Structure 1
Amino acid sequence: MGGAPASAPTVLSIGSDADLIRVRRAAREAAVRAGMSLAEQTRVITASSELARNTLVHGGGGRVEISDVTRPGRRGVRMVFADEGPGIPDVARALTDGFSTGTGLGLGLGGARRLVEEFGVDSRPGRGTTVTIVSWSRNPT
């Protein structure tokens, strides 16, 4: 998913509310490096915030890898959120509009998916969850 890595990923632990702030800051910095507009930056930051909170609250903590990515004529950001929590028993249901556990920004996985161009979930009950997102700048390189 996504383009070719442009650099080594930034890896951040997600284990506290303070870590959520660091994830949002790193997502913003990556979006700026990719040349994203303010609206594009906001979408990336919002999606990363929701997914980081899910990693903390539902996965018991984990990590995110943030990478600058490229493909011909475009720059973007790839983020991989991973935890070793209980997993998502029904991914399709978790992606439906209106599904909520009552925490976070209220976007849920479906809302985060709508904010980015590429989105993938790998989750197995008892084995954790990995969510990968990629967002591309609309500004040509």
Structure 2
Amino acid sequence: MTSPPGGRAPGEEPPGEEVPIASNDDVVRVRQLVRAAAAAAGLSLVDQTKIVTAASELARNTYAHGGGGTMRVERATGARGGRGVRVVFTDEGPGIADVEQALGEGWTSGSGLGLGLSGARRLTDEFDLRSEPGKGTTVTVAKWSR
């Protein structure tokens, strides 16, 4: 079997390319892309599930609360040489007025059924949230192989 041009399957985004999140279908696509990247990075099935679950929550937040945005997934190498996946979500929405509250255990906006930001933080090895009211939000997460 020969590889398609660019060495990727049809519809598969190259590593590091930004993918739009503008619909519920895009949230599903994010899950698929993150799972593929996590498997390619050698993460266990449990760790793949954790990063995909976190990415799904963050993609949903990007769409529902940020008015849409982008996701970038890339294979990464950790400080100790470990392999993993880094995923960055960015939107230019209203931002988060109280980041500490939003990161509080069990906090919800009241409109979602997901894990919330605290759940995404628990499922990942690295979690960084930067938000400014009126200027949007960027969340970066990473999961490393064990």
* TM-score, normalised by the number of residues in structure 1: 0.89
The residue number in structure 2 matching 1:4 is none
* TM-score, normalised by the number of residues in structure 2: 0.86
The residue number in structure 1 matching 2:116 is 108
After superposition, the C-alpha distances for 1:18-77 in whole angstroms (9 at most, x for unaligned) are: 101110000000100111111001001000000000000000000011111013441100
**Larger relative contact order (C-alpha < 8 A, sep ≥ 6)?**
1
Alpha carbons of structure 1 residues 120 and 10: separation in structure 2 relative to 1, 3 Å: same
Q: Distance in 2 between matches of 1:67 and 1:129?
A: 19
The residue number in structure 2 matching 1:63 is 70
Aligned residue pairs, count: 132
The residue number in structure 2 matching 1:16 is 23
Structure 1 gap ranges (5+): 1-6
Task: Tell me which structure has the larger Cα radius of gyration.
Answer: 2
Which of the pair is proportionally richer in strand? 1
User: 1:104: how far off?
Assistant: 4.0
User: 1:98: how far off?
Assistant: 1.5
The residue number in structure 1 matching 2:128 is 120
Structure 2 gap ranges (5+): 1-13
Q: Distance in 2 between matches of 1:111 and 1:42?
A: 13
Instruction: Give the counterpart letter for 1:75 in structure 2.
Output: R
Q: Is the 8 A contact 1:83 1:129 kept in 2?
A: yes
Q: Distance in 2 between matches of 1:32 and 1:128?
A: 30
CA RMSD of aligned residues (A): 1.3
